[in-house]
Amino acid sequence: MTSSNRVLGKSEALRKLGGKLRRNPAAPLTDAEVSLLAAEVQKAFADWFPLAPAQSLRDVERGVRWQALGRRCRQAREERGWSPKDAAAAAGIPQYRVRAIEDGHLTEVRADLAALYFRALGIEPWVARWVRANRALAESVGLAGGGERRLRIAKRESPDRAE
């Protein structure tokens, strides 16, 4: 494949990916799609912020992977006509945790509280598929590697509930 064919192939792949995400912003992405999108975001960051820390650029892939889960949660919440406050009350979790899950603030995501949110939204089967497709990220936030058990048996009691 020539260099120009690779560029055209990449452009075509980006166009298709854009169409996929316009049709369904919560669509789970394949590893190839995540890599392609993360590379484009990293390239844009590098162009605009040439001194950006390398860690920031590596975190882009995690954000790209999480976006499907966050958008699926928001989509399910909005389908129910719930505000973030309503969703937090329904799940029995603090509102800022709802926002952290939906917005991809991974350092604020707690697996046990996320499980309660997924259950309140009725998206546990979808989340289980997402976990299988994004194992490393799911493990890093506690949704896999023992977290699957927490997804099934998350307890209603939590010291975080009063926040």
Instruction: Provide the pLDDT for residue 155.
Output: 36
- Structure-model confidence comparison of residues 32 and 114, the more confident one: 114
Q: How many domains does the chain have?
A: 1
**Is residue 19 in some structural domain?**
yes
Question: Do the domain assignments include residue 134?
Answer: yes
2 versus 64: the higher-pLDDT residue is: 64
Q: Is residue 16 part of a domain?
A: yes
Q: Would 160 be classed as within a structural domain?
A: no
**pTM value?**
0.71
Q: Is residue 159 included in any domain, yes or no? A: no
The boundaries of the domain holding residue 97 are 3-153
Q: Output the average pLDDT for the chain.
A: 80
Q: Rounded CA gap, 87 and 75, in Å? A: 12
Q: 36: closest CA among 10, 54, 57?
A: 10
Please report whether residue 163 resides in a domain. Answer: no
Stretch (H or E) spanning 3: helix 3-23
Task: Give 47-77 pLDDT, tens digit per residue.
Answer: 666 666 655 666 788 888 899 999 999 999 9
Instruction: Examine residue 158 and state whether it is found in any structural domain, yes or no.
Output: no
Give the integer Cα–Cα distance in Å for 121 and 72: 10
